[in-house]
Amino acid sequence: MISTGTARAGRTAGGIAILGTGSCLPSHVVGNDEVGAAAGVTDEWIRHKTAIRSRRRAKPDEATSDLAVAAGRAAMEAAGITAADLSLVVVATSTPDQPQPPTASIVADGLGAGHGAAAFDVNAVCSGFVFALNTAQHVLAGSDSAYALVIGADVYSRILDPADRRTAILFGDGAGAVVLGPARPGRGLLAGRLAGFGAERDLIEVPAGGSRLPATPETLAAGLHYFTMNGRGVRDFVAETVAPAITAFVEEAGYTAADIDSFVPHQANGRMLDDLSATLGIRSAHTRTTYEEFGNTGSASVPVTLDHAARTGQLSDGDLVLMAAFGGGMAMGLSLLRWQHPVPTHTTSAPTTPQS
């Protein structure tokens, strides 16, 4: 296991906080009947296996950066800052607009932060947002920079095989964002942990399209550019590796499951999350979810769910919030924080004008 250990903000205890959140879900809603028809399963089967009822799909002219820009703009509005205040823009995605440049560069330009703010992508698949959050926290804590924008965004609909019932029924498109900045005393990010398990990297993958298997007519014909997942293997990974790691992380930070006011996990699968919450001893009423409506939105799922919880009054000032993400790599990202108001007042929306 590769781990960063327990990381604490460097300026003061809890010196970096989430100041605002935002999210963007495409307007096109896709129900279980539609995805189930192509995958050869029914609405009842999908709900029984995953508890997902619908998901969103980007329009043909909407890319990952379009969703990210809309989510980022909403987060900045909630935080009361402008693009000129940003020193860092980090986009977590495994479905970038294109191989180069980083999608974050496109997003920074779309937000008006394209001159001066450092911009880069993080790819830790569905763990990406928490990886990016921890990274941005360390950058801010070790510098004089005041604000960072961290976004998780994915358009998985572009890499799914519609006939693969293991994946096509799970994933939706979306983006979620947070603004990081100075915390009030007793508030902010408390601890973080990142870990990788490369020996199990084949549980989740897109085999072709990179330097090992470049795109060819043969790889396209073989369907090697589709997202693939060993569902049973992922479930075992979460139960055997992720759950014990979360318990240890919380205890090492000086807390217990009973202290957690809000648990914001990666929205992988409703049934899997039920099992995970029960194993951790976190009450279901304290587990924040969006999977029923939005499905699994990849690296966007944690920030989308955090934004939803904030907007619907599920987070109170001073709440202890645990975020946990896991995904391809295999990878795991954890973050513990004391929630800081104000709560964002914007509403989740589709992007307005696609960025070029």
Write b or e for each residue in 28-67: b if 16 or more Cβ atoms lie within 10 A of its Cβ, otherwise e.
eebebeebbeebebebeebbebbbbbbbbbbeeebbbbbb
In angstroms, the CA 213 to CA 279 distance is: 40
Residue 266 and residue 244 in contact, taking contact as beta carbons nearer than 8 Å: no
Please state, for a pLDDT cut of 90, what percent of the chain lies above it: 88
What pLDDT does residue 251 have? 97
What pLDDT does residue 224 have? 95
pLDDT in tens, 128-179: 999 999 999 999 988 877 899 999 999 999 999 999 999 999 999 999 999 9
What pLDDT does residue 6 have? 36
DSSP symbols for 259-300? G-SEEEE--S-HHHHHHHHHHHT--GGGB---HHHH-B-GGG
pLDDT in tens, 315-340: 999 999 999 999 999 999 999 999 99
59's CB contacts (< 8 A; 6+ apart) are 26, 27, 28
Segments of the chain with pLDDT less than 50: 1-14, 343-356
Q: Spell out the domain ranges in the chain.
A: 1-356
Tokens of 345: 């007042």
What pLDDT does residue 4 have? 37
In angstroms, the CA 238 to CA 304 distance is: 21
Topology adopted by domain 1-356: Peroxisomal Thiolase; Chain A, domain 1 (3.40.47)
Give the distance, in angstroms, between the CA of residue 34 and the centroid of all CA atoms in the same chain. 25
Active site (catalytic) residues: 126, 266, 296
